[in-house]
Amino acid sequence: MKILAFAASSSRNSINKKLARYAASLVSGADVEVIDLNDFELPIYSQDKEKELGEPEIVRIFLKKIADADALIISFAEHNGSYTSAYKNIFDWASRSAKKVYDNKKMILTSTSPGPAGAKSVLAAANTSMPFFGAQILGSLSLPSFNENFDIENSKIKNSEFNQKLLDLVNLL
Ligand X SMILES: Cc1cc2nc3c(=O)[nH]c(=O)nc-3n(C[C@H](O)[C@H](O)[C@H](O)COP(=O)(O)O)c2cc1C
Radius of gyration over alpha carbons of the chain, in Å? Answer: 15
Of 43 and 114, the one with the shorter C-beta distance to ligand X is 114
Please give the residues from 46 up to 85 whose contact with ligand X meets the rule CB under 6 A: 77-81
Q: At residue 37, what are phi and psi to the nearest 5 degrees? A: -65, -15
Angle, to 10 degrees, between the axis of helix 160-170 and the axis of helix 15-25?
60
Which of 6, 9, 62, 94 binds ligand X (CB under 6 A)? It is 9
Does 117 sit near ligand X (CB under 6 A)? yes
- The β-bridge partners of 105 are 135
Q: At residue 111, what are phi and psi to the nearest 5 degrees? A: -155, 155
Does 155 sit near ligand X (CB under 6 A)? no
Residues with Cβ < 8 Å from 28, sequence gap 6 or more?
Answer: none
Of 98 and 143, the one with the shorter C-beta distance to ligand X is 143
Of 1 and 152, the one with the shorter C-beta distance to ligand X is 152
The residue count for binding ligand X (CB under 6 A) is 16
Does residue 76 contact residue 87 with C-beta atoms inside 8 Å?
A: yes
Does 143 sit near ligand X (CB under 6 A)? no
Does 88 sit near ligand X (CB under 6 A)? no
Footprint of ligand X (CB under 6 A): 7, 9, 11, 14-16, 77-81, 113-115, 117, 119
